[in-house]
Amino acid sequence: MRQDHLITATQLSRADIEAVLDRAAEIDADPGAVADRYREAVLALCFFEPSTRTKMSFETAIKRLGGATTDMGTVESSSVKKGESLADTVRVVEGYADALVLRHPSEGAAKMAAEFVDVPVINAGDGAGQHPSQTLLDLYTIRENVGLDDLSIGIMGDLKYGRTVHSLAEALTNFDVRQHFISPESLKLPRGVRFDLHNSGAQLREHTDLAEVLPELDVLYVTRIQRERFPDETEYEQIAGEYQIDDDTLELADDDLAVMHPLPRVDEIDPAVDALSQATYFKQAHNGVPVRMALLDFLLSEGEL
């Protein structure tokens, strides 16, 4: 299927995903082979919200392909501060670059941006919507560790506002995966995501207690529960505390469990877990570079994915 942009995970077929992951594996094995492939290419970074991993890994990815970046900088230092619309900003920036990576606080921002420009747009997070390039690196990490079929995954934390969760859950419907969603009642999956999952025939179950499913999981994907989602500090501390894991929690888990997290973590994974063989989150973050190199390779070479 031809894709000019990467906006949501629902647009990705199994074949699309496998093509990117296979290309990422080739690049990972021999990064030198593509070092000069995009010497003239410029990637625009438009981040209307803070980012460390996504922005830096896209930057590293285009540099390792021989290209360069042009960076809008922070909202405070740009024309956005003067009241410029997103539609205008992206139409200006497309004249400076061959592709555009966009993170924005409003849901649907990347979809709208893609309607205004001809260069490929990559959604690097739109509010509580989607974050599909994170999903590709998550899938790459899962495939590396346990494979992508006949798999049980637990996705835990803020499922309502977590954009990495929404994209991952939708992409996983392309594979033979049993999805367990573990969250407090108030942070369950939103109706729109549930609608897509049901339409795709997803095998999903919802839980409020991790212990119910932990022993059968191959992957545990942990996300941060944000303080600002709760009106009351005491309620936040009580609820967030129930969704933190440490080495004691993992005694119930399989030795081959892969514990993943899109990062940054605050206190939902105790640092004691870092030393366990199950801790996969730093490797997951490193995978951002080869996977984003592969994604850029598709979008820049053929103008499509």
Partner 1 sequence: MSDRELRVSKIRNGTVIDHVSGGQALNVLSILGIDGSAGLGVSVVMNVPSDRLGLKDVVKVEDRELSQSEVDVISLIAPEATINIIREFDVVEKNRVDRPETVIGLLSCPNRNCITNANEPVETKFDVVDEGVRCAYCGTIIREELATHIDPE
- Please report, in range form, the residues annotated as the binding site for L-aspartate: 82, 163, 224
Shortest gap between Cβ of 111 and partner 1 (angstroms)?
A: 5
Is residue 188 part of the annotated active site? The answer reads no
Is residue 166 part of the annotated active site? The answer reads no
The residue range among 100-108, 143-151, 229-237, 287-295 that interacts with partner 1, by the rule CB under 8 A, is 100-108
**Binding of partner 1 at residue 107 (CB under 8 A)?**
yes
User: Nearest-CA neighbor of 49 among 124, 104, 99?
Assistant: 104
Is residue 91 part of the annotated active site? The answer reads no
Residues 187-206 interacting with partner 1 (rule: CB under 8 A):
190-193, 195-196
Residues 4-43 interacting with partner 1 (rule: CB under 8 A):
none
Residues 219-248 interacting with partner 1 (rule: CB under 8 A):
none
Residues 69-88 interacting with partner 1 (rule: CB under 8 A):
85-87
Is residue 63 part of the annotated active site? The answer reads no
Is residue 53 part of the annotated active site? The answer reads yes
20: left (phi over 0), alpha (psi -120 to 50) or beta: alpha
Question: How many residues make up the chain in this entry?
Answer: 305
List the beta strands (DSSP E) in 133-265.
Answer: 151-156, 177-182, 203-207, 219-222, 258-260
Query: Which of the residues 54, 69, 164, 280 is marked catalytic?
Result: 54
Shortest gap between Cβ of 8 and partner 1 (angstroms)?
A: 8
For the chain, state the CA radius of gyration: 19
The burial class, CB within 10 Å (0-12 / 13-18 / 19+), for 280 is buried
User: Nearest-CA neighbor of 222 among 305, 301, 165?
Assistant: 165
Largest CA distance in the chain: 54
For the annotated catalytic residues, the residue numbers are 53-54, 82, 103, 131
- Residues of the shown chain interacting with partner 1 in the complex, contacts defined by CB under 8 A: 85-87, 104-109, 111-112, 115, 126-129, 190-193, 195-196
